[in-house]
């Protein structure tokens, strides 16, 4: 692994689907443009207005499996019947430059990177205000079929069981407040 600067760190944000990981990361990047966002690879199809290289790197399953065999991922997992992975090379480059990197990861990926990068990885678990609100958010998103929403809610129960393994837990009932809470806990400076 590349030699890592004392200042670089990974800020891993995990949560059940519909809790607001993407919205939180977008807001934090707007408020703190000196941070970078690690864009994951996925085999799932694009949703709505998602863009290649902005939201995800959308790749075919066969290509993803070749990348696994080539050791190109710092972590990867199968989630909601699709593959997701974090490219290794950009993470190592940014950390060696002393950058702070925001990552949107499922709990499997979050724990793997925490184990791999140790103190360099700070973990934040976003909690929905309630299960009812989570169901409402997933339904209002309008991007998933009923079967996909059911699967995501089942997975949410499993994901919530990891919350105590994270460094910080933040309830996302209000986007601005959740961002302020993250800034305070992680000592973000402009």
Are 43 and 83 in contact by the 8 Å Cβ rule? The answer is yes
H-state helical runs in the chain: 21-31, 61-69, 88-96, 107-117, 131-141, 146-160, 175-185
**pLDDT band, residue 189 (cuts 50/70/90):** low
Query: What span, in angstroms and rounded, lies between the C-alpha atoms of 176 and 97?
Result: 29
Query: What span, in angstroms and rounded, lies between the C-alpha atoms of 36 and 143?
Result: 26
**pLDDT band, residue 6 (cuts 50/70/90):** low
Pair of tokens at residue 19: 């809790």
Domain ranges in the chain? 9-185
Are 85 and 68 in contact by the 8 Å Cβ rule? The answer is yes
Tell whether the torsion through CA atoms of 116, 118, 121 and 125 is positive or negative. positive
User: What DSSP character marks residue 25?
Assistant: H
pLDDT for res 100: 95
Mean pLDDT taken over the chain: 88
Are 17 and 155 in contact by the 8 Å Cβ rule? The answer is yes
Per DSSP bridges, beta strands 41-42 and 121-127 are unpaired
Q: Domain 9-185 in CATH: superfamily?
A: P-loop containing nucleotide triphosphate hydrolases (3.40.50.300)
Are 9 and 100 in contact by the 8 Å Cβ rule? The answer is yes
Q: How many helices (H) and strands (E) does the chain have?
A: 7, 9
Percent of all residues in the chain with a pLDDT value above 70, rounded to a whole number:
92
pLDDT for res 144: 67
Note the pLDDT tens digit of each residue in 21-61.
889 999 999 999 999 999 999 999 998 888 999 889 999 99
pTM: 0.85
The mean per-residue pLDDT over the stretch 114-121 comes to 93
């Amino acid at each position: 692994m590349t030699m890592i600067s004392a200042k670089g760190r990974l800020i891993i944000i995990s949560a059940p689907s519909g809790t607001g990981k993407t919205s939180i990361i977008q807001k934090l990047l707007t408020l703190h443009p000196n941070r970078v966002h690690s864009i994951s690879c996925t085999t799932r199809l694009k949703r709505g207005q998602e863009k290649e290289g902005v939201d995800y790197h959308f790749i075919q399953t066969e290509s993803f499996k070749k990348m696994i065999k080539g050791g190109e991922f710092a972590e990867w997992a199968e989630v909601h019947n699709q593959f997701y992975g974090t490219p290794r090379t950009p993470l190592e480059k940014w950390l060696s430059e002393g950058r702070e990197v925001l990552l949107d990861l499922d709990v499997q990926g979050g724990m793997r990177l925490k184990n791999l990068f140790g103190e360099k990885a700070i973990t934040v678990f976003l909690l929905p205000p309630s299960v009812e609100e989570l169901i409402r958010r997933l339904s209002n998103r309008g991007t998933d079929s009923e079967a996909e929403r059911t699967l995501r809610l089942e997975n949410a129960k499993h994901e919530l069981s990891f919350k105590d393994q994270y460094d910080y837990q933040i309830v996302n009932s209000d986007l601005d407040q959740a961002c302020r809470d993250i800034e305070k806990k992680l000592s973000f400076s402009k």
